Structure 1
Amino acid sequence: MNAITLIELGLTGLLVALVPLYFVWRAKGFDNKYRKLVGVTMFFTFDLIMFGAFTRLTDSGLGCPDWPGCYNRSNPLLAHEHINAAQQAMPTGPVTWSKAWIEMTHRYFAMAVGVLIIALMVLAWRRWVRSGKTEPQYRPWFATALLGFVCLQGAFGAWTVTMKLQPVIVTIHLLLGLTLLAMLAWLYARHNPHLAVSPGRGMATPAAIGLALLTLQIALGGWVSTNYAALACTDFPLCDGKLVPDMDFAHGFTLWRHLGMTAAGDFLPFQALTAIHWVHRSFAFVVILYVVWLAHKALRDPGLRKTGRWLLIIVALQLCTGLATIYLNWPLAIAVVHNGGAALLVLLLVMLNYKARYAPAGIAAASPQAAVSPVT
């Protein structure tokens, strides 16, 4: 990868980021600017996760088989000779014009998120230094950690391509993306005093358990998607006409292996895909029941009622889209919405955890500055 291509890629990411940055720049006052920057970065990260799901579900992850460019070029137009040759050799293969553009668009958005996070870090450091380190809500450590985290996410994005969509790498890439979204949601909550409410009695631990269960379920869902096991069971509530179908857990849940292969290099048996699908489906009911119970518990607290209501709505959406992927033979739009619903649940449970644990009682009636929780 030559320096000119890297500069072109960087400028493309900056160009994409200019739209939200202009929206932020128009806001009045530093506090408002910073809060809006956190919000738009969170929004772009959510969109990036949705588009990442679209990239994965359209089998476009290797649309450009190198990284960070496309055949060492900054966009598919400049790599037209290589793409044409690959498409002619394999018209439905991993490299086509549409898949190359989908993959590179995903990378452009990822670069834009990186630019926005750099802007967050620079603003936090600038305010922290200029204030004489007297404004704890602008301690720059969290924003700096975000930059380190997005770099780690970028590394796994590169390994996703260079390791040819190895399932464990792709699944970790998904989980890191959702963790980045969760971190931004936490930062957004800290800089929005109106989110400060009286902590729900006894809600902190149940909310943390709910987030942990959801994380495990998303990991299982990512494992289904990256192993292309979504249609291993095409009936419901049975699977292949059985309550407990024939399954191969050993091969299905061997983490370090190539896509579609066992650790020994043989083709992955269908029973392994069935095991992957069945575990995700079965554990979904555990998570649904727990989150519904958690939402009803939140509804009894005035400060958590709105979050509880949205939890019930999104859980219902997830159940419907999950069933629809089975009955309608995995339509692309519904599969993408299902991924988006998981990201929304992450956002809601992060907000619930913040409100239940760190929003001090009576603080909403105090000054806005005091409403921001201590920054660690």
Structure 2
Amino acid sequence: MVFRKLGIVTIITVYLLVLAGGIVRSTGSGMGCPDWPKCFGRYIPPTHVSELPANYQEIYGAKLHGEVEFNATKTWIEYVNRLLGAITGILVLATFVVSLFSYFKKDKVIVFLSFLSVVLIGANGVLGKFVVDSFLKPGVVTLHMLLAVLVIFVILYSIARAWSEVINAETIQNKSQLNKVIIITLVLSTLQVLLGTQVREAIDRVIANPVFSYNRNTWIEQMGLPFYIHRTYSLVILGFHIYLIWLIKKNIKPQGLIYKYMIALVAIVVIEIFTGAIMAYFGVPAYIQPIHLTLSIISLGIQFIILLLVNSASVFGKHNHLFELK
């Protein structure tokens, strides 16, 4: 019981961390703290430039390619992001410790997954440091996002496996077809998220140009191919979601848990499309970008949960040797 509840708190915190990361990117606060793990050499960053040494630009300028100007708002946005990252790491470690006491004898897979979560979240933390050190290098930022998605999947799997003790498998028709569509939708949606990071990197390049940086209404036309691929590809994603929803509605009873997750997925996909349209036609508002990103990651999580629930009898079954560690 403790592990199941702690797991839910942990995954919520991970999603909040994704949201915080999106806010960091959309506000250009990624270099708000030029050093790591400290921020301007302090564990608690300053709130005013007067709290920094007079030669702070010389001290930190090399890390920012000679361009450093203290901005309290950006510094604290990045600091809160790091603080939330530390809290997430502690919670992930706590779930592993609790899994040792709760499942070491009963289900070692949960223990293994919990340990893997610790390793992955630690690796992503190190990668986050490299993101700072590399001055937000594009490929590194994309890898940082991909690893975050993997962390979410691993944590969700361990939580779902623990909750399978108290959740009955549902009766499902045409399971093979449903599985194929869910997996294809999940893979295509993950690729769309990664394409979204490419769009974000294109925005960064536009912002770097002083001619366009202060005129958001020109950003879309300056982004070029990455944006148009992302926008067109979204129609493919929408089509697969519609087909998936139709299959679930056709083959699963509406009273079940899978059907409820499907309703949540419908709502999130609709809002996600709406936020994407706002960015495309209203000059990429900064406050919409992190919402759009977080919704897309949440939709991936729901798709993964649906996949696990559809296959709960085989994935979590007592006699499933494929998923049992000896």
| 1:48 correspondence with 2:21 | no
| 1:157 correspondence with 2:111 | no
Q: Distance in 1 between matches of 2:109 and 2:10?
A: 17
2:140 to 169, 184, 191: 169
Aligned residue identity for 1:151? G
**Match for residue 99 of structure 1?**
74
Residues 247-326 of structure 1 mapped to structure 2, 5 A cutoff: 273-300=223-250, 301-302=252-253, 303=256, 304-326=258-280
Two-structure CA RMSD over aligned residues (Å): 3.2
**Match for residue 341 of structure 1?**
295
Higher relative contact order (CA 8 A, sep 6+): 2
**Match for residue 111 of structure 2?**
140
Q: Distance in 2 between matches of 1:83 and 1:96?
A: 15
TM-score by length of 2: 0.81
2:171 to 194, 198, 211: 198
Give the aligned length: 297
Aligned residue identity for 1:283? Y
In terms of mean alpha carbon deviation, does 337-346 or 38-47 score higher? 337-346
| 1:67 correspondence with 2:36 | yes
Deviation at 1:56, TM superposition (A): 0.7
Q: Distance in 2 between matches of 1:295 and 1:320?
A: 19
Deviation at 1:72, TM superposition (A): 2.7
Deviation at 1:44, TM superposition (A): 0.3
Q: Distance in 1 between matches of 2:18 and 2:110?
A: 28
Deviation at 1:186, TM superposition (A): 1.8
| 1:330 correspondence with 2:284 | yes
Unaligned runs of 5+ in 1: 1-31, 233-258, 261-269, 364-368
Unaligned runs of 5+ in 2: 210-219
In terms of mean alpha carbon deviation, does 197-206 or 321-330 score higher? 197-206
Deviation at 1:271, TM superposition (A): 8.5
Q: Distance in 2 between matches of 1:180 and 1:165?
A: 21
Q: Distance in 1 between matches of 2:95 and 2:261?
A: 27
| 1:121 correspondence with 2:96 | yes
Task: Deviation per CA, 1:22-73: give whole Å up to 9, x if none.
Answer: xxxxxxxxxx111011000000000000111001100000001111111232
Task: Deviation per CA, 1:283-324: give whole Å up to 9, x if none.
Answer: 111111111111111122124322222222211111111001
Describe the shift of the 1:84–1:334 C-alpha distance in structure 2 as closer, same or farther (beyond 3 A).
Answer: farther
Describe the shift of the 1:171–1:83 C-alpha distance in structure 2 as closer, same or farther (beyond 3 A).
Answer: farther
**Match for residue 14 of structure 1?**
none
Aligned residue identity for 2:5? K
**Match for residue 199 of structure 2?**
224
Q: Distance in 1 between matches of 2:145 and 2:53?
A: 29
Deviation at 1:358, TM superposition (A): 2.8
Which structure's residues are more often helix, by fraction? 2
SS in 2 for 1:227: helix
Aligned residue identity for 1:141? F
1:77 to 23, 27, 46: 46
Q: Distance in 2 between matches of 1:197 and 1:341?
A: 27
Describe the shift of the 1:231–1:279 C-alpha distance in structure 2 as closer, same or farther (beyond 3 A).
Answer: farther
In terms of mean alpha carbon deviation, does 58-67 or 198-207 score higher? 198-207
Deviation at 1:343, TM superposition (A): 1.5
Describe the shift of the 1:146–1:58 C-alpha distance in structure 2 as closer, same or farther (beyond 3 A).
Answer: same
Equivalent pair of 2:193/2:297 in contact (CA under 8 Å)? no
Q: Distance in 2 between matches of 1:83 and 1:375?
A: 60
